[in-house]
Structure 1
Amino acid sequence: MVLRTDIFLAMLLAVVGSAAIASPALAEVPWTWAKLSSSSNQVNLLSAGGVTRPAAVADCFCPGETLNTSTMAKAEVLFNDGSLTRVGEQASLRFWPDTRNLYLAQGTVAVFIPPGRGRTTVQTANATVGLNSTAVVVRYVPSRQLTLIMALATAPSGPVLVTGSTGQEFALYGGQMAFVSGVNLQIVEFDLLGFYQTSDLMAGLRLGDPNYRPPANDPLTALRPNLLEALEQQAPFEQEGAILDPALISDITPVANPQSLEASPLDPLSPVEELRRYNDTPPGVVNPLPEVPASPPIENSTVDAPAGVPTAVPTSGES
């Protein structure tokens, strides 16, 4: 993957009350169940009572359960409203009933939310990611208390919002990525096309192919126009001033004085093994945040429930 090497640091990007992120209220479709649409290698489901069972395709991933993947394992989860989540290796993920809230204890997930479903959150130990009608990749590394968030597109309803553990809130637009660690924040631009072409987590989705004609039951059909638009709007990543697939990541260390951030670029560490897999990305550069017009929601839709799960879906719920 090619990324620009210029580094930009920010402590707080205030977005509360900004017209750039204003969005219309959307009726929410609560998550009442999910099912595994694909699974590879060792994937387990842990019940609220502590009972572990192997997971297979079409199994119910029920509220309160935890989905765990082993090394080199992957899973794909389809929720009752058509939202899609891909879970990478060595991940631990769960969700709560009648909400749109995911909790990622470790590992990486790619979350795709179709238009009109309402606000969705992905929570880690030190960050909360809010998205609406768009897609993100979220990774949490417990050993470093580090959360990485990649915005794959900018929804008409507004950007992805990230809230840190200290309450600071900032916006991410398509092609931007944030590193959150303690009170520190680093924002970079990553190569969307390169990510789609090289990431195992994106394999088979063909998100970077404008000529791809998905099947009628493709859960990403409604999102593809926004994903392709983000690709088209991103300036090409060139060899000059860029690095090819480096195994380096910048260290994020606490800084007492926010005014010193601009003059203190981060020093690269030696390769970090836990961040060298398919869902790792190194530093880049940030473009100015554009203003995004709001648009009305699209009609909701649902998917068929797995056997034994009620199909009734409430019309409203808490986010």
Structure 2
Amino acid sequence: MFRKLFPLVVVSLWGVVVLSPSQPASASTPLTQAVVKSLRNWVQLMPQSRPKRRAQIKDAMTPGDGLSTGKASLADLRFNDGSLARIGERAVFRFVPRSRTFTLSNGTVLLLIPPGRGETKVRTRSAAATIRGSALFVRYDEQTDTTVVGSLTDSGIEVFNQDESRSRVLKAGQLIVLVKGEIQGLYNFDLRSFYDTSDLVRGLDLTKPNNTPSSDPAMASVQAETSEALSKQVPITGENVVENPSFIQLSPVSSDVPDEEVVQDAYL
């Protein structure tokens, strides 16, 4: 039914990561609206001032609104600046008024942000990631208070500890893990394996350089950076390689949302 949303091959770089002090954030343009572009299975819209309801294609979200997903579910949001957020299963995702900040209370989100749109931040309870363009994923497990951030491009994606006193800039194919606000490790992960096996990136053409005029210049600029990063990565091999390590898995939870036997897709 659903390929794994988050399979990776990783190899540890360091057991302990020593981070340098963070730098002040630069000014950026607020996001004002997102539109639901595609849905799979159970997706719930959480308006700030209205009752929750089942999400539909073309639903508009404004700052303060949120979106949640059930098991084996997925939703794509397109923002007013051309950015795209793909929210994976069992996620709770909101965007904060008067800012370019998102919060992730559980689950996984893939963010594709065209270069030059300003600084964007993703917050979980234990970490924050700052993006100045291009692609990353964030996974947060509420039960274990574990945050995983992975970079798909060399675009200055900076990850902060809980109180933002320290940070680390990730290179393409690097992944950092924070537990209860503390850094636990920095890893390399195999970009090719990720693109070949993850539904989180399916249909987004992130591995193909766009050499022809595009009807979607915003996404084309992201595709150019993701494909370049992939072409430059040396294959990960060696005895320290681990496939699907435990820290990337979401804790099992009981749910009031019924499992769906048939995958249903809807697109704008």
Q: Which amino acid aligns with 2:162?
A: S
Aligned residues of 1:3 and 1:242 also touching (Cα < 8 A): no
User: Is residue 2:208 matched to residue 1:202?
Assistant: no
Aligned residues of 2:28 and 2:118 also touching (Cα < 8 A): yes
Aligned to 2:100: 100
Matched residue of 1:241: which SS? coil
Aligned to 2:220: 221
Separation in structure 1 between the aligned mates of residue 142 and residue 78 of structure 2, nearest angstrom: 26
Aligned to 1:253: none
* TM-score after normalising by structure 1: 0.70
Q: Which amino acid aligns with 1:248?
A: P
Aligned to 1:163: 160
1:12 to 13, 18, 23: 18
Aligned to 1:131: 131
Gaps of 5+ in 2: 1-6, 253-267
Give % identity.
Answer: 31
CA shift digits 1:70-129 (9 cap, x unpaired) = 111100000001011000011000112331000001100001110111000000001110
Aligned to 2:183: 184
2:172 to 171, 174, 177: 174
Separation in structure 1 between the aligned mates of residue 35 and residue 250 of structure 2, nearest angstrom: 32
> Radius of gyration: which is bigger?
1
Measured after TM superposition, the shift of residue 39 of structure 1 is: 0.7
Measured after TM superposition, the shift of residue 9 of structure 1 is: 2.2
Separation in structure 2 between the aligned mates of residue 177 and residue 111 of structure 1, nearest angstrom: 15
Q: Which amino acid aligns with 1:231?
A: L
Aligned residues of 2:12 and 2:186 also touching (Cα < 8 A): no
Measured after TM superposition, the shift of residue 134 of structure 1 is: 1.7
* TM-score after normalising by structure 2: 0.82
Measured after TM superposition, the shift of residue 3 of structure 1 is: 2.9
Q: Which amino acid aligns with 2:102?
A: L
Matched residue of 2:44: which SS? strand
User: Is residue 2:218 matched to residue 1:249?
Assistant: no
Measured after TM superposition, the shift of residue 130 of structure 1 is: 0.3
User: Superposition pairs for residues 50-61 of structure 1, below 5 Å?
Assistant: 51-61=51-61
Aligned to 1:145: 145
Separation in structure 2 between the aligned mates of residue 273 and residue 141 of structure 1, nearest angstrom: 6
Gaps of 5+ in 1: 251-270, 276-305, 307-319
User: Is residue 2:3 matched to residue 1:3?
Assistant: no
Separation in structure 1 between the aligned mates of residue 112 and residue 249 of structure 2, nearest angstrom: 28
Separation in structure 1 between the aligned mates of residue 245 and residue 194 of structure 2, nearest angstrom: 16
Measured after TM superposition, the shift of residue 185 of structure 1 is: 2.7
The structure whose residues are more often strand, as a share, is 2
Aligned to 1:296: none
Q: Which amino acid aligns with 2:245?
A: L
User: Is residue 2:260 matched to residue 1:274?
Assistant: no
Measured after TM superposition, the shift of residue 11 of structure 1 is: 3.8
**CA RMSD of superposed structures (Å):** 2.7
Matched residue of 1:220: which SS? helix
Q: Which amino acid aligns with 1:138?
A: V
